[in-house]
Amino acid sequence: MFITLEGPDGSGKTTQIRLLYDALVAAECDVLLTREPGGTAIGDQIRTVLHDIENSDIVPETEILLYSASRAQLVGQVIRPALAAGTIVLCDRYADSTMAYQGYGRGLNLEALTAITDFATGGLKPDLTLFLDLEPEIGLTRRKTSGQEWNRMDRQTLDFYRLTRRGYHTLAEMEPERWVSIDASGSITEVAAAVWATVQRRLNLQGQSPCG
Ligand code: TMP
Across 92-105, average pLDDT = 97
| CATH number belonging to domain 2-203 | 3.40.50.300
**What is the pTM (predicted TM-score) of this model?**
0.95
Pocket of ligand 1 contains residue 101 by CB under 6 Å? yes
Report the nearest atom of ligand 1 relative to the CA of 50: 8
Residue 104 in contact with ligand 1 by CB distance below 6 A: no
| Ligand 1 geometric centre to CA of 36 (Å) | 7
Residue 136 is inside which H or E element, if any? helix 136-146
How many residues can be counted in the chain?
212
pLDDT greater than 70 at residue 122 = yes
What mean pLDDT do residues 40-58 have?
A: 95
Please report the atom of ligand 1 found closest to the CA of residue 105.
15
Task: Point out the least confidently predicted range of 100-109, 133-142, 192-201.
Answer: 133-142
Question: What's the pLDDT at 207?
Answer: 58
Domain ranges of the chain: 2-203
Cβ burial of 3 (10 Å; 0-12, 13-18, 19+) is buried
> Measured in whole angstroms, how far is the alpha carbon of residue 98 from the centre of its chain?
10
